[in-house]
C-alpha cells in the first residue's frame, strides 16, 4: 500500500521511532521490567498533566474511560455539555449506562461557556459534569480555565474533562484547575497508534468511585489506582503501547513542553493562514478555535467560499496526504486539517503545497 500521510484529526501519523519502540520484545506485565517501565513514565505523565496524582494507562480507546468516568462517578445526575459529535455522544453514553443525564446543548461551532453551566449546576440536581475541551468534530476549544473557575463553586460536582485531542499540545493543569478526571486517547495529539488512553483521577473522584455500586471491573478507577501504586495496570495492557508511550514521552521532554506547545500554535496558525489565503472562513466562533486541528467552513455557515470537499480530499490524497472531509452532520460542509503530533513548519509546508495544487483543480 502506498503511504498516505494522515492529516486527519486522529489517528495521526506515527513516527518510525515510535513504531520501533512499539515493537520492542514482549515482557510480562507483572514482572519487574514492566514495573520499571511504568515507574519510568509515571513522573513524565505527571509532569505532562501538571499533577501529583498517579496517571493511569487504559488499554482501550478514549471512549472506554469516558464511559468509565460515568460509571464510576455519576450517582445523582450528570450534566453533559454538548457542542459537537463527541460531546453530544457522551449524553447518549450516560443514558446507556443507566444514568440520569441532562443535555446542555449549544450550536455546533460554539463553545461551552461557564455561565450556562452555572445556571444548570445552581439547581443542585447534578453530581457530575462532562466537558470536552477540544471538540474535534467542530474544531472548537471551550475555555477550560473559565469553566474550572466556575466549577470551584460546586465542589461536590465531579468535573470530568475529555482532552482527547488537546492533551500534550497545550498545558492542561489538572491539579490547579481542580479537574476530577482528565483523559486522552493516545492516537490523537500523542501520535501513538490507536488502542490506549491515559487518564488521571482526583482524590475526591477516587473516594466517590469507591462508593459506586455496579462500576464494573475493567474501568474501575479504584483498581487503576491500586495497581498504579505498584506500577501496574488492572489487566494485561497493550505492552507495545506502553513502550511506544515511553519513547514518545522522551521525545516530548527532549523537545521541551514549552517548545512543543509553541510548535502546535505555530503550525495551527499556518493552517488558518492557508484557509484564509484561499478565501475560506473557519467553522468555530471567533476566538474559540482549536490549536491542534482546523475546521474549515465550507458552506456550513454563511461567509467564505465552498468547494467540492470529496474532490479536494481525493486530489490531495493522490499526492500522498489525507485530510478529513468533515464529521457527522457537517460532513462536506466543513473539512478538517490536523497539525497534531510531530508536525513541523516544514512538514505542514509540504501539506499546504499539495493542498495548493489541489485547489487549482477543484
Ligand X SMILES: *Cc1c(COP(=O)(O)O)cnc(C)c1O
Q: Which residues of the shown chain bind ligand X in the complex (CB under 6 A)?
A: 10, 61-63, 86, 132, 134, 136, 162, 164-165, 185, 188
State the minimum distance, in angstroms, from the CB of residue 223 to ligand X.
Answer: 20
User: Would you say 34 or 86 has its CB closer to ligand X?
Assistant: 86
Q: What's the rounded Cα separation, in Å, for the pair 217 and 219?
A: 6
In angstroms, give the least distance from the CB of 26 to ligand X: 24
Helix then strand count (H, E) for the chain reads 13, 14
We find the least distance from the C-beta atom of residue 144 to ligand X, in angstroms, to be 13
Q: Which helix (H) or strand (E) holds 264?
A: helix 257-277
Q: Distance between CA 209 and CA 31 in Å, rounded?
A: 28
Least Cα distance to 112 among 136, 133, 138 occurs for 133
Query: In sequence order, what DSSP letters do the residues of 71-84 get, joined into one string?
Result: HHH-SS-EEEEESS
Least separation in angstroms between CB 298 and ligand X: 20
C-alpha cell at 26: 514482549
Indicate the burial class of 355 (C-beta count within 10 angstroms; 0-12, 13-18, 19 or more): buried
Tell me whether residue 184 or residue 206 sits nearer to ligand X (CB atom).
184
Nearer to ligand X, 51 or 137 (CB): 137
Minimum CB–partner distance for residue 228 and ligand X (Å): 21
Among residues 141 and 358, whose Cβ is nearest to ligand X?
Answer: 141
Nearer to ligand X, 50 or 63 (CB): 63
Q: How far lies 317's CA from each of 8, 203, 322, in Å? A: 11, 47, 5
> Is residue 335 within 8 Å of 312, Cβ to Cβ?
yes
Nearest approach, Cβ of residue 261 and ligand X (Å): 18
User: Beta strand pairing status for 158-162 and 181-185?
Assistant: parallel
Based on CB atoms, which residue is closest to ligand X, 55 or 62? 62
For residue 49, what is the enclosing H or E element?
Answer: helix 32-49
Q: Which of 336, 288, 73 is nearest to 182 (CA)?
A: 73
- Please report how close the Cβ of residue 162 comes to ligand X at its closest, in angstroms: 5
* Shortest distance (Å) from residue 99 CB to ligand X: 18
Is the CB of 106 or the CB of 354 nearer to ligand X? 106
Residue 293's DSSP bridge partners are 338
- Residue pair 71/214 in contact (Cβ under 8 Å)? The answer is yes
Cβ proximity to ligand X: between 162 and 220 the closer is 162
Amino acid at each position: 500500500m502506498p503511504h498516505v500521510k494522515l492529516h486527519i484529526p486522529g489517528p495521526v501519523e506515527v513516527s518510525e521511532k515510535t513504531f520501533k519502540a512499539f515493537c520492542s520484545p514482549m515482557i510480562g506485565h507483572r514482572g519487574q521490567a514492566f514495573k520499571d517501565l511504568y515507574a519510568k513514565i509515571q513522573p513524565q505523565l505527571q509532569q505532562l498533566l501538571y499533577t501529583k496524582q498517579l496517571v493511569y494507562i487504559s488499554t482501550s480507546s478514549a471512549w472506554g474511560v469516558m464511559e468509565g468516568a460515568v460509571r464510576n462517578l455519576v450517582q445523582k445526575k450528570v450534566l453533559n455539555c454538548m457542542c459537537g459529535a463527541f460531546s453530544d455522544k457522551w449524553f447518549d453514553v450516560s443514558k446507556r449506562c443507566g444514568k440520569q443525564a441532562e443535555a446542555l446543548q449549544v450550536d455546533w461551532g460554539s463553545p461551552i461557556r461557564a455561565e450556562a453551566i452555572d445556571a444548570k449546576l445552581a439547581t443542585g440536581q447534578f453530581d457530575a459534569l462532562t466537558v470536552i475541551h477540544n471538540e474535534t468534530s467542530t474544531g472548537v476549544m471551550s475555555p477550560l480555565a473559565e469553566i474550572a473557575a466556575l466549577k470551584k463553586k460546586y465542589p461536590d460536582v465531579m468535573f470530568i474533562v475529555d482532552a482527547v485531542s488537546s492533551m500534550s499540545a497545550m498545558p492542561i493543569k489538572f491539579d490547579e484547575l481542580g479537574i476530577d478526571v482528565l483523559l486522552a486517547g493516545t492516537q490523537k495529539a500523542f501520535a501513538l497508534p490507536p488502542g490506549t488512553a491515559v487518564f488521571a483521577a482526583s482524590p475526591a473522584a477516587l473516594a466517590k468511585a469507591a462508593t459506586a455500586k455496579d462500576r464494573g471491573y475493567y474501568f474501575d478507577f479504584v483498581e487503576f489506582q491500586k495497581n498504579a501504586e505498584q506500577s501496574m495496570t488492572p489487566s494485561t495492557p497493550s505492552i507495545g503501547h506502553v513502550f511506544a508511550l515511553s519513547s514518545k514521552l522522551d521525545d516530548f521532554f527532549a523537545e521541551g513542553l514549552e517548545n512543543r506547545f509553541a510548535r502546535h500554535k505555530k503550525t495551527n496558525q499556518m493552517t488558518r493562514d492557508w484557509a484564509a489565503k484561499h478565501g475560506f472562513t473557519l467553522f468555530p466562533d471567533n476566538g474559540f478555535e482549536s490549536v491542534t486541528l482546523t475546521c474549515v467552513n465550507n458552506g456550513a455557515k454563511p461567509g467564505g467560499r465552498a468547494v467540492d470537499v470529496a474532490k479536494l480530499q481525493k486530489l490531495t490524497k493522490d499526492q500522498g496526504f489525507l485530510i478529513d472531509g468533515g464529521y457527522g452532520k457537517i460532513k462536506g460542509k466543513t473539512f478538517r486539517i490536523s497539525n497534531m503530533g510531530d508536525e513541523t513548519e516544514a512538514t505542514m509546508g509540504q501539506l499546504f503545497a499539495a493542498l495548493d495544487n489541489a485547489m487549482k483543480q477543484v
